[in-house]
Structure formats: C-alpha cells, structure tokens
Structure 1
Amino acid sequence: MQMDQWECSISLPGKKGIFQTGLSSLSMADQYESVSLICPPVDHGPAAGHSWFPGPPPPIYSCTLTPELEAKAREELQEKPEWRLRDVQALRDMILKEHPNLRTRLDDAFLLRFLRARKFDYDRALQLLLNYHAGRKAWPEVFQDLKPSTVKHVLDLGFLTVLPRPDPNGRYVLFLRPGKWKPNDYPFVDNVRAIYLTLEKLIQPEETQVNGIVILADYTGVGMSQASNPGPFLAKKVVSILQDGFPIRIKAVNIVNEPRIFKGIFAIIKPFLKEKMAERYVLHGSDLRSLHRSIPPSFLPEEYGGTAGRLDLAAWTRLLLDCEEEFIVEFCQPDPLEGVVLPDSMLFEEGAGGKDEDTFRGLRSQLYYCY
C-alpha cells in the first residue's frame, strides 16, 4: 500500500498487516489495501507525566476499566467484556465495507469510544463516527490547524479549564466561564476550538467513556455582546457537534450566576437540544447550596464554596500544551472525507442560514427584553 507521510505502519512479531491492534484487526489490511489509517503517536512525551489525569491509551488496546466500571458499562452501555473485541471488529468491518475511502483511525481504543457513546448499537455508532468527521468538513474555521498552541490565548484568559478531581460519580468537570470572553478580543470560534481540544483529551481515558462528564458554567459577566454574538446558526453547529458528532456522554450541565439575559440565551440553544439533554440543564443562580447538591464542596474550588483549594487554570493549560504533537498527528492532516460519499442526512445542512437568521431576529428581541 502506498502510504503518505502522515500514515504509519505497526508491525507485530509473526503477523502481517498495516495497522494491527490486538486480536481484532490482524487480517483487515490484506482485504482492504486502499484504506488510509491515522495512527496515534506511540511516544506521548511529557503529557503522560500529569499524575492527576490519566495518560493516553497504549497503541495496542488493553482494557483499563476496574471491575466496578466494567459492571457499570455492562448495565448502562450494554458492553460485554467477553464480546468487546468482537463488537469492535463488527464496527470496523462496517466502516471498511461501506466507507472504504474514509481516512479514519480503526484501532480498537478509538472505535470503542463510538460504540460506548451509542450503547454498542453498530448502526448508531457508525453514524456518530461519520458525524464526527463531517463536523470537521462542515466547519473548517474550527478544525483547520487545530492544536493547543493556537488556542493558548483562550486558555490563558480562563475561559475554560477542567477541575482536577472527578466528581463522586467519576465524571470530570469541564468548567466554562463565558463572561471571560469579549467579542472584540478574538473570534467566538476560538472558544469552540479550545472546547473541542479539551473534549478530545477528556475522552481518551476509558473511565470517561463510561462515566461521562459534567459541565459547570459560570455566567458571571455575560452581557448582550456575548449573548448575541454567536447567533442561532453558530449555536446549532456547536450543539450538533457536542450532541450528535462527538463520542462523549454529557451527564449534567450546571449553570451558576446566570443573568436575566440567560433566558434569551437558552431560547437560542434549546430548539437544537434533544429533550433528554435539555432536561440535564440545572440553573443554580447564586445559590451555592443548590450547586453543592449537584457537585459536593470537596470537589469544588474555594471560589464556589468548595474545599479543593483555589481555582487552578494553569494545570489544564500545561497538560494540553504538552500534547501539541499528539494533536498535530490527530488533526493537522489531509481531509479525512476526501473522496468519501456521505449519506444525504448528515450534520449541518447547507442553506439553513436564512431560516436561522429569521429565527434569530425574533430571539434578539427576547434578548433585549431580558437584558
């Protein structure tokens, strides 16, 4: 097979193949020589040295779930350890048969993310994988040259971070502060880029794939300029990526210190949310006791009535920046959908802007009224 410089070959003793990750993928290359595979880096460098966050998975899959998490995955995700690699192989076969030109990773660890996110439903997992790649094609401003160094200004500003300890349910807390962003400072899509890179890092550990994550958003300082800037079409893209185009389970969205204008902001977002996701939004206002019922104080920084020390923005920034090479391999490569024919029903339908703008004109008056 002719390989580009961004592709790689992994050879295992006594076996032949272009990308061999354990028992489930040893014979696929001989059957489908035209498939290009993106290989995750083997040497993860200093990123593996952040003791508070799990390191990336090894190139050859080996389950890292505890017996308790395996039981949880069985109950909530229909994951059976004895069938795990068989299920991965089934999804891999579907990709190679139905989309042989798709430039996607096919290793076990990567495909498991999509199976777990869709409770091991092969068809839904495949659709999620296609949406995952389609999102990149539909929104090049976000995904072109996507690496941590290009969003350092967002991280330094404190727009987002990840709290160092998972909550009692084992879920990492993605902490957002939309009020830290001012439209005149940089484009809104830079915030989306930083969020996406963070999600990509968060989803690597198998614990996150099973437990999901929690979002905590502090809306202190959010005014009309932030609320009206993205607009419904941009909001729809963000929601579509998080809800239908990324293999992560968002279990709760906690909003604190929301201003009156948040009613108008949520009116923009809600039409694009699935009912189950909309029900996971919890508005706490300035009532920290209400927040503590969702996230106990021992897991929160002092600024939010917690006992976990002062809020540390630098730790997550360092972790992401240490993963620069990892993200270059993952994102700074040729278009994975080049030459691929996708189904008619995909994310981000073209030509929807007119309807969205009409909707936005109606919602803008709501924003001003709330403001």
Structure 2
Amino acid sequence: MADQHESISLNSPLVDPSAAAEHSWFPGPPPPIYFCTLSPELVAKAREELQEKPEWRLRDVQALRDMILKEQPNLRTRLDDAFLLRFLRARKFDYDRALQLLLNYHAGRKAWPEVFKDLKPSTVKHVLDLGFLTVLPRPDPNGRHILCLRPGKWKPNDYPFVDNVRALYLTLEKLIQPEETQVNGVVILADYTGVGMSQASNPGPFLAKKVVSVLQDGFPIRIKAVNIINEPRIFKGIFAIIKPFLKEKMAERYVLHGSDLRSLHRSIPRSVLPQEYGGTAGPLDMGPWSRLLLDCEEEFIVEFCQPDPLEGAELPEATLYGAEQDDDTFRAVRSQLYYCY
C-alpha cells in the first residue's frame, strides 16, 4: 500500500518555467526538490512567529509524513516537503493540528463537489474577466500579498455564486506556493461598492459557513487582516451571516473603513494601492493575475482534476462542515438583511 501511495503523490505538480518567467512580479512555485528560499529576515520571523527551527525543518516534515502514512495510508495526497511545509507553518509546527488541517483540506473537495470538480482556471475565466478578484502587484511593507475582492461586480443572474468560490480557491492555491506567503500571510481588501440585496441574500448561511470553514480550517494560509471598504448599510446583515462562523481572532481582524480612504491608508499604505483606492500604484489592472492563473492551467489539472483523494480514507469524527442549517435559521438571517436594507 505504501508503494502505491508514494507512486501517486510524492511529487509536486509539474511547472512550466517559461510560463513562470512571464510573471516575474509574482514568486514562482518551489522547486521539485525542496530547498529553503526564505531570506534571513524571514527565517528569523518564521522562528519567532511559527516556531519553525531551520535545523529541524525537514525532520518535522518527515514526522508529519510518517503520521500520514501510518494514520491515513489510503489518503491520496502529495507528500513532498514543500507541500507538507504549508500545513506545518499554518499550524505553527504542531503535528496533530497540521494533520487535521490536511484532512480538512481534502475533506473540502468531497463535501463541496460543485466547487472542486474539474477545478482549473479556464472554467472560471468569466469570473476573472468580470473583475471579481485580483491580487495587487505589490505586497504591503510586511511582505503580505493583497487579495482584492469586488463582490459588487457579481450579479446572481450572471452565473452561480460557487463560481466565485472556485476562482477564490484557485487564487489562494497560487498565493500559498511561495514560502514568503506561508510565513507572512495575506491581506484581504474587499470593496463592497454596488453590493445590494440580491448579492447579499443569494449565498445563504450554509454557503457562507462553507466559505468561512475553508478559509479558517481547511486551507493552509494565514489571513492577517480583512479590510472592508465602501460597505453599504446592508453589510450589517451580511456580517450577521458570517460572524457566527468566525473564530474570535479572525473576527477581530475585520476592519470596516466605509468610504474613508484615509482610514484604509492606515492599514494599507498608498504606495501599494491602485489609484481607485487613493493609492499611487497606478490604475487597478485585473489582467496580470488573470493571465498568471490561466497560464497555470496544466499545473491545476495535475493538482485537482484527479480521483477522489479521500477514497478509502478513514476520517476522524470531527468534520470540517456541519449539517445544513434549517429554514428557520435562514429566514431569521434574511430578515436581518431586509431590516438593514
């Protein structure tokens, strides 16, 4: 069984070097054979914030790999050093929590097939073309890439909301590849211009819970801040849907700026923001990130368009997704939306 496991999953996805060279503004993926790409400053930061000891790094990776092979021998997962390091860093090198995160990561695919089936950039090109999300070309002074979301660009009649989730997940997968992101984390900038009742009520509490569960407990990324701007009155209702599912630490990282750009600039400096948000980094251009994702089509096919990774695996009783909420719960939340609107 171990031989079968290794033949399926030990190697990282193939990467086209020529495609990576065209997007030099964003770090390329790690090499097939791991070597640390962190600067001395980030090595020190990882030691302080993540309890990562360079001299023990590969020993820790091997310990997690051994746990997977022993406790989940049927789990079809990558076992290369670079991949497993994402989970260790996201859980501060706690082996048990890193393993649970890895199981949650794969459980998401089984629990949410409409998101993960045939997941590749070409299937969400309409979302990227619409401008629903992008990654700004410059990280902030703390080295954190800025994921810019514009939910008001989406209209429920255009396409299903899960297509937005698919584009978001592909973006997170690309963002987490560089070791810098694994250590520094990311910042979210969400512009709610144009969001009305139709967008706010469409996902519903159960879908909102799934999205939050993926970001908090099912993906190896550190979300350091969520900056909300231009939020309408209805946002109180939107946040009422999301907040019950947020951990306290995550809820504290939400900052509501309204239309006050000076408030935003205290969180994200003008030098890395586009001119649409009072910045000096030129106009907002959705093209570079869209092209980067689309050029990585083959990479995502290898990663996601494969057999069910959980087939035959035995998961612990604790699961990432709870039962679907009843109609009374949804009606109560919807009434809050109408009240705020």
TM range (shorter): over 0.9
- The RMSD of aligned alpha carbons is 1.0
Which of 328, 351, 359 in structure 1 is aligned with 2:301?
A: 328
Alignment of 1:222-233 (within 5 A): 222-233=195-206
Partner of 2:269: 296
Distance (whole Å) between structure 1 residues aligned to residue 125 and residue 5 of structure 2: 34
Number of equivalent positions: 338
Partner of 2:258: 285
Alignment of 1:168-207 (within 5 A): 168-207=141-180
Partner of 1:162: 135
The structure number with the bigger radius of gyration is 1
Verify: 1:44 aligned to 2:44, yes or no: no
CA contact (8 A) 2:191 2:229 kept: yes
Alignment of 1:113-132 (within 5 A): 113-132=86-105
Partner of 1:339: 312
Q: Deviations over 1:138-195 (max 9, x none)?
A: 0000000000000000000000000000000000000000000000000000000000
Partner of 1:353: 324
Displacement after TM superposition at 1:359 (Å):
1.6
Displacement after TM superposition at 1:246 (Å):
0.1
Displacement after TM superposition at 1:354 (Å):
4.0
Identify unmatched segments of 5+ residues in structure 1.
Answer: 2-31
Amino acid paired to 1:367? L
Displacement after TM superposition at 1:85 (Å):
0.2
Distance (whole Å) between structure 2 residues aligned to residue 171 and residue 255 of structure 1: 17
Distance (whole Å) between structure 2 residues aligned to residue 297 and residue 305 of structure 1: 6
Partner of 2:338: 368
Verify: 1:311 aligned to 2:311, yes or no: no
CA contact (8 A) 1:144 1:332 kept: yes
CA contact (8 A) 1:34 1:100 kept: no
Partner of 1:11: none
Which of 141, 152, 169 in structure 1 is aligned with 2:125?
A: 152
Partner of 2:36: 63
Which of 243, 249, 256 in structure 2 is aligned with 1:276?
A: 249
Displacement after TM superposition at 1:348 (Å):
1.1
CA contact (8 A) 1:44 1:56 kept: no
Alignment of 1:200-215 (within 5 A): 200-215=173-188
Identify unmatched segments of 5+ residues in structure 2.
Answer: none
Point out the more displaced range, 317-326 or 360-369. Answer: 360-369
Partner of 1:26: none
Distance (whole Å) between structure 2 residues aligned to residue 275 and residue 43 of structure 1: 38
Distance (whole Å) between structure 1 residues aligned to residue 328 and residue 287 of structure 2: 41
Amino acid paired to 2:143? G
Q: 2:5 aligns to what SS in structure 1?
A: coil
Displacement after TM superposition at 1:293 (Å):
0.1
Q: Deviations over 1:63-107 (max 9, x none)?
A: 000000000000000000000000000000000000001000000
Q: Deviations over 1:253-286 (max 9, x none)?
A: 0000000000000000000000000000000000
Distance (whole Å) between structure 2 residues aligned to residue 180 and residue 86 of structure 1: 46
Point out the more displaced range, 37-46 or 76-85. Answer: 37-46
CA contact (8 A) 1:74 1:80 kept: yes
CA contact (8 A) 1:113 1:247 kept: yes
CA contact (8 A) 1:159 1:180 kept: yes
Amino acid paired to 2:19? A
Amino acid paired to 2:264? L
Amino acid paired to 1:103? R
Amino acid paired to 1:48? A
Which of 83, 86, 90 in structure 1 is aligned with 2:59?
A: 86
CA contact (8 A) 1:132 1:245 kept: yes
Verify: 1:263 aligned to 2:236, yes or no: yes
Amino acid paired to 1:196? Y
Amino acid paired to 1:359? T
Structure-1-length-normalised TM-score: 0.90
CA contact (8 A) 2:12 2:83 kept: no
Q: 2:104 aligns to what SS in structure 1?
A: helix
Amino acid paired to 1:313? M
- Identity fraction in percent: 86
Partner of 1:24: none
Distance (whole Å) between structure 1 residues aligned to residue 44 and residue 71 of structure 2: 33
Q: Deviations over 1:193-227 (max 9, x none)?
A: 00000000000000000000000000000000000
